[in-house]
Amino acid sequence: MMNIKNLLSILLLLSLSPLRSYSVGREILNFYIEEPENNRYESYLELENKSGRELYKWKIGTGSAELNEKWNFTYDLERKFDKGSNSNGWENTFSIYKELEDVEWFGKKWYRDIGPYIKINTVKSKGEFANFSKENKYSMRYRVRTNSDFLLGNTYWGFDFFLSTIDSNNRDGVSLEGNLTGGMNLGYGFQNFFTIYNEYLDYANNNGTYLFRVENNFRWTYDLSQDFAFSIESELDSYNYFKNTDQDKSFKINVGPYLLYSKDINREFRVFAKVGVLGYNYEENKTEVFKSSDSSYYIKIKCGFEYIF
């Protein structure tokens, strides 16, 4: 577990650095909009049905807040239910970060922030094979970002660095990460977002394991009216493990059409929904002892609200 005294000492040192102003970013009908408000709260329900499995997600709250002129706070509280495996769990993240002075590297201006990051991930299954598992992560995170005029502009990319201790029900340990992330506007409604993970894992069944992971979201969006839009989206998530682990690889891809809805009730409050039908899902998993693959059509429904202040 992370030494709390050490964490508090780090926070005290970070509070001596200068800060910049803070604003809220919102994604409305698949497009990013930055607002001058300091706080954002969002909540939604999501249902996904694939391969005869019903997956429910309740996003109790996700958003950001300005704690004071020195620190900002982000949070994400999520309750998950898998009806097929008769299991439920939590996936919660919290971070406190401080914006550092911009720096000039390679002829470009880079945004930076630093602060503690916590991720709580637990799963509890019921019935004959009842089980409880956890993988809680306590980290110090350092981020750098820069903007680019590549293609139509609105392109960003940068790096995330994590130094973490892991609390696992199997074996506690540590992990190190250096991840490349970015997003770009390709024009004519096309967008692409990616993260390439590079992780060193030494906890649970990983004994000095290297994980190479790729997440990618490619989508095309077409405005139907002020409140409605249509999109076709593909989501890819690939894991590849190397050395000293019982894991090998996993691969998942979703491709499908969506109808999007967003309605401003007033300047601060909006409701939204996203419905996907006839989407295609493919998943493959491989470990030392088994290999499985599955493909099916899926339905995904999401609805909720957002409030900025």
pLDDT (tens place) for every residue of the chain, 309 residues total:
444 444 444 444 444 333 344 568 899 999 988 888 889 999 999 999 998 789 999 999 999 999 988 889 999 999 999 988 899 999 999 999 999 999 999 888 999 999 999 999 999 998 777 899 999 999 999 999 999 877 666 789 999 999 999 999 999 999 999 999 999 999 899 999 999 999 999 999 999 999 999 999 999 999 999 999 999 999 999 999 999 999 999 999 999 999 999 999 999 999 999 999 999 999 999 999 999 999 999 999 999 999 999
**Amino acid residing at 90:** W
What's the pLDDT score for residue 290? Answer: 92
Tell me which residue of 237, 306, 232 sits closest to 273, measured CA to CA: 306
Name the strand (E) or helix (H) holding 192.
strand 190-203
Instruction: Return the bridge partners of 28, or none.
Output: 31
Please report where in the chains the tokens 């970060």 appear, as a residue.
97
- pLDDT on residue 20: 42
CB 172 within 8 A of CB 165: yes
Q: Which among 173, 59, 70, 166 has a CA at the least distance from the CA of 115?
A: 70
First to last CA, the chain: 35
CATH, range 4-308: 2.40.160.40
Predicted local distance difference test score (pLDDT) of residue 36: 86
Q: Would you state the pLDDT for residue 107? A: 87
User: Which three-class secondary structure state does DSSP give residue 63?
Assistant: strand
Q: In 10 A of CB 1, how many CB atoms?
A: 9
246 sits in the region (left: phi over 0; alpha: psi -120 to 50; else beta) called alpha
Query: What's the helix, strand, coil split of the chain in %, to 5?
Result: 5, 75, 20
How many residues are there in the chain?
309
